[in-house]
Amino acid sequence: MKRVDESVFRLDGRVAVVTGGAGGICSAICRAYANVGAKVACLDYDGEAAQALAASIREAGGEAIGLACDVSDEQATLAAVQNIKQQLGAPTVLLNGAAVLDRTGSILEIDPQEWQRVMSVNLTGVYLMSRAVLPEMIAAGGGSIIHLASMHGRVGRAGRVSYTTAKAALIMLAQNMAMDHADDGVRVNSLSPGAVATRRITYRYGENAQEQLKAAAQKYLMKRFADPDEMVGAALFLASDASSYMTGADLLVDGGYCAA
C-alpha cells in the first residue's frame, strides 16, 4: 500500500496571515500553522491579544508576529499587509476569521447600526483583507485563501439574521474569487464549522445555561459541540498542498448537524 506523503501538509517557508487570530478557533489555527513551519501573522482588533499569542508561539519555537488590525478599515488592512511583507515576506496563505459577536434578533429587532457592524467585519472585512493580500500573493506565485464561514451559511437559524447572511455570502465570495484567480495560482475555499466551544457559545447561551447547551448539542449527530482544535485539521488541509486540486469549495465540519 502506498504511504501518504505527510510533507504535503507542511507549510515550511510560507507566510500565513490569520485574521481574528486571537479568537478561539483562529488562535488554535495560528499555533497549528506555526507547528508545521509557517511564518504566522496573527491579526486581531485586540492588538495586545494578538501580540501575546505570537509571543507564545515564538516561545514554543515557532515564528510569528502579532498585529492590531481592524479589517473593516481598508487602510488598516493595506498597512498590515505591508508590515507583514517587511517582517515575514509576501503572504501565501490567508485565513479570514475575523468576526464580531452578534446579538440575537430578527430584522425588526436588529437595528441598522448592528446589522452594518456585522457586515462590515464579517463580510466586508474579508473582501478588504483579501483585496490587500491578493496582489502580494499573486506576485509571489500564488497561494491559498480560506474564508471562515459556518454551517449557518448553508442552513438558517432563527434570530441570527445578520450572522447567517454574512456567512452565506462568504461561501459565494469564495466561489467567485476561485473563478477569478485560478489563473493566478490562487486557490480560494471556505471552511464551515458547526458550533465550537468558544466565547461565542457562552455569549449566545450565557455562562450557566447548562441545560440549554445540552439541548442544543443534541441537534448534532455527535451530540456535542466541537473543540477549537477540531477545526485545525481542516484549516491546515485547505492551506497546504494536501488540497492542491481543491478550489471554490466549502468544507463542512459540523458534527453532522446538516445531515441530521
User: Which segments of 31-185 are extended strands (E)?
Assistant: 39-44, 63-68, 93-96, 143-148
Residue 186 has pLDDT above 60, yes or no: yes
- What is the chain's alpha carbon radius of gyration, rounded to the nearest angstrom? 18
Q: What are 114-168's pLDDT values in tens digits?
A: 999 999 999 999 999 999 999 999 999 999 999 999 999 999 889 999 999 999 9
User: Can you give the pLDDT at residue 195?
Assistant: 84
- pTM for this predicted structure: 0.94
Give the helix/strand (H/E) hosting 22. Answer: none
Superfamily, domain 9-200+228-250 = NAD(P)-binding Rossmann-like Domain (3.40.50.720)
**Which residues are 15's β-sheet partners?**
39
Instruction: Give the active site residue among 163, 203, 220, 245.
Output: 163
210 or 73: which carries more pLDDT confidence? 73
Q: How many other CB atoms sit within 10 Å of the CB of residue 189? A: 25
d(CA 77, CA 100): 17
User: Can you give the pLDDT at residue 37?
Assistant: 98
d(CA 158, CA 177): 29
Residue 260 has pLDDT above 80, yes or no: no
**Which residues are 160's β-sheet partners?**
105
Residue 70 has pLDDT above 60, yes or no: yes
Among the ranges given (43-57, 172-186, 221-235), the one the predictor scored with the smallest mean pLDDT: 221-235
pLDDT classification of 93: cutoffs 50, 70, 90: very high
Domain boundaries, the chain: 9-200+228-250
Closest among 24, 10, 18 to 40, alpha carbons compared:
18
Compute the average pLDDT of residues 7-15.
Answer: 96
Residue located via cell numbers 502579532: 66
**Is 108:162 a contact under the CB 8 Å cutoff?**
no
- Angle formed at CA 163 by CA 75 and CA 237, multiple of 5 degrees: 75
As given in the structure block, the three cell numbers for residue 168 are: 452565506
Q: What are 191-235's pLDDT values in tens digits?
A: 999 888 776 666 656 555 577 777 778 888 988 888 899 999 999
228 or 52: which carries more pLDDT confidence? 52
Compute the average pLDDT of residues 163-192.
Answer: 98
d(CA 105, CA 113): 13
User: Which segments of the chain are extended strands (E)?
Assistant: 15-19, 39-44, 63-68, 93-96, 143-148, 186-193, 250-253
State how far the alpha carbon of 226 is from the alpha carbons of 23, 52, 120, 183, 187, in Å. 15, 24, 27, 36, 26
d(CA 8, CA 248): 20
Residue 2 has pLDDT above 90, yes or no: no
**Is 58:64 a contact under the CB 8 Å cutoff?**
yes
Average pLDDT over the chain, rounded to an integer: 93
As given in the structure block, the three cell numbers for residue 2 are: 502506498
Compute the average pLDDT of residues 95-119.
Answer: 96
Question: Is 163 in the active site?
Answer: yes
Compute the average pLDDT of residues 182-193.
Answer: 98
Tell me, what DSSP letter sits at residue 210? H
